[in-house]
Structure 1
């Protein structure tokens, strides 16, 4: 039987709904004290939306007595929109939110700090924000009428549960499911990749095709969420590790050269004013058992600190026994560690 934890967010929270643009909104948890200069912008993972990540309630409570408020950003790719989304659009929307927050808060509360925090695939958004060219490269199909958006630097960045979607899917394929044997799963996966590569777009190469729900539902994705062939190929990245896709940022088999192009570009882009905090879950259900979590963090630290730079926060760690979203009934201690590290990090960001 599934046990649901009733969080304070589930019982209701005071706050302000901000219209960043006509179609982009963010909810600021104020708990009766909105007049705070500093901001933590929270971005959820695949399928997440407002208040769906339970540990966010712990962070909101921990920041009550501080000068920080939390903005829970609702991207166009939130909830069921992730299957049609892409990292480029996500970071454009994060950039618009960061700019909005600075313009909204500074005249009233003074110059404040802005930190972005991502959970799961939200971590891919965080990394993409601080490491890719500014403005980002245009997509040849979907950005024909796009106006480039310059991203402003953020004072800090946090990644929680930065897992590899590709390795998670490959683990499902390797083990099989209650319905499909490993052999059947491999055949299903290979055909899905082949079909997605062959027919990625339609209508004169201008419109996404959709991977059949009967396929995506059997390999681990929600059976109600449409996934485009383009996003599917980005998430499963079938040509990795030699030619990783945009979404393949955190796989354990990526080369040092690839990490130099991602983590290693953070210092060069100048979009992170201070340091990156990484909180990896020690018992993450999405991570295959062959992944050396501690070793992976050390490789990321080496890549981001190349050439004598220092962008790796010393509080980064693998949280013992932590599940992917720290939502299981036995997660009180992992959540305590997460909140303690995040609040300590934000305190140092504020002082810097």
Structure 2
């Protein structure tokens, strides 16, 4: 009997090489499509994600190869459920190690571009905002949306209590302490309660829960209520390092109702006029850009931006 073929919505395969980019303090792998190409686009996914889960990556990889770029997908400590005990700065340190490895051990003699999806956008800004001792020639933000505004739009009384507890622990100098968790400690055999619980109900430090879900924190970079001065403070250090392309989905479901998606990026462009910030609204795009037509627009936008880099 013939094996059934893949369904129409099965993710397309991406070929490449898997190798370690970091051995100490813990080994971390990276998947790269074309090690022989001199230019690299490093892709950083969002919360609960890891390599290969964003649907437009196969299309993006093919377009990058035509430009002489390889698609590089590192595994970081914040992948899957690790984000609950991680931080933007921790991610940036691992990304730094990756880029150092690409330059010293892989054929990275050309340009390096950093592209973040969702919370990977915060990672991109955080990385570019400090001198890391490595050169990145451009940054791309796909779905730069506010975690705390999404939290505000759907929080329950229990969520509010947990946020208050996190703030209390931080004020007491205990931001590294773990918050209470509802995931089952010992799931029953044959059930589904344990499937992906470590990812969808991860352990969370008080610091990271508060940073993701409260205003005025390290992770709060894209809220619509940020002041003009806040926007300049957040963006300017990164834009001083490299040009940035911000891509907002016109149907991003993580932007709460009542918030104008186009208005957000237009405001950034106005406030940051004169800087190397480029913005684009992607018609038909949800958070991960599932729509194939929207994927085409996204990839063409990335290609145009990369071609513009000096």
In the other structure, the counterpart of 1:265 is: 237
Q: Tell me, in whole angstroms, the C-alpha distance in 1 between the residues paired with 2:88 and 2:152.
A: 21
Is it true that 1:231 corresponds to 2:200 in the alignment?
A: no
Deviation string 1:23-56 (CA, Å, 9 cap, x unpaired) is 22211012xxx32110000000001111111111
3-state SS, counterpart of residue 25 of structure 1: strand
Q: CA deviation at 1:6?
A: 1.4
Q: Tell me, in whole angstroms, the C-alpha distance in 2 between the residues paired with 1:256 and 1:129.
A: 22
Match of 1:284 among 252, 263, 274: 252
What is the alpha-carbon root mean square deviation over aligned residues? 2.4
Total equivalences in the alignment: 289
In the other structure, the counterpart of 1:65 is: 66
In the other structure, the counterpart of 1:142 is: none
CA contact (8 A) 1:102 1:112 kept: no
Residues 1:79 and 1:151: Cα distance change in structure 2 (over 3 Å): farther
In the other structure, the counterpart of 1:334 is: 294
Q: CA deviation at 1:104?
A: 2.5
Match of 1:246 among 215, 218, 229: 218
Match of 1:7 among 5, 11, 14: 11
Q: Tell me, in whole angstroms, the C-alpha distance in 2 between the residues paired with 1:163 and 1:199.
A: 27
In the other structure, the counterpart of 2:137 is: 155
Q: Tell me, in whole angstroms, the C-alpha distance in 2 between the residues paired with 1:27 and 1:119.
A: 17
Q: CA deviation at 1:208?
A: 2.1
CA contact (8 A) 1:27 1:72 kept: yes
Farther-moved stretch of structure 1 (85-94 vs 204-213): 204-213
Residues 1:21 and 1:345: Cα distance change in structure 2 (over 3 Å): farther
CA contact (8 A) 2:16 2:31 kept: no
Residues 1:223 and 1:79: Cα distance change in structure 2 (over 3 Å): closer
Q: CA deviation at 1:62?
A: 1.9
In the other structure, the counterpart of 2:93 is: 92
Using structure 2 for the length normalisation, give the TM-score. 0.85
CA contact (8 A) 2:176 2:205 kept: no
CA contact (8 A) 2:176 2:207 kept: no
3-state SS, counterpart of residue 125 of structure 1: helix
Is it true that 1:312 corresponds to 2:260 in the alignment?
A: no
Unmatched 5+ stretches in structure 1: 135-149, 174-184
Q: Tell me, in whole angstroms, the C-alpha distance in 1 between the residues paired with 2:75 and 2:272.
A: 29
Residues 1:256 and 1:102: Cα distance change in structure 2 (over 3 Å): same
Q: CA deviation at 1:294?
A: 1.7
Q: CA deviation at 1:166?
A: 0.5
In the other structure, the counterpart of 1:209 is: 178
In the other structure, the counterpart of 2:149 is: 167
Q: Tell me, in whole angstroms, the C-alpha distance in 1 between the residues paired with 2:105 and 2:153.
A: 45
Residues 96-107 of structure 1 aligned to structure 2 (within 5 Å): 96-105=97-106
Q: CA deviation at 1:257?
A: 1.3
Q: CA deviation at 1:338?
A: 0.5
Residues 1:171 and 1:4: Cα distance change in structure 2 (over 3 Å): farther
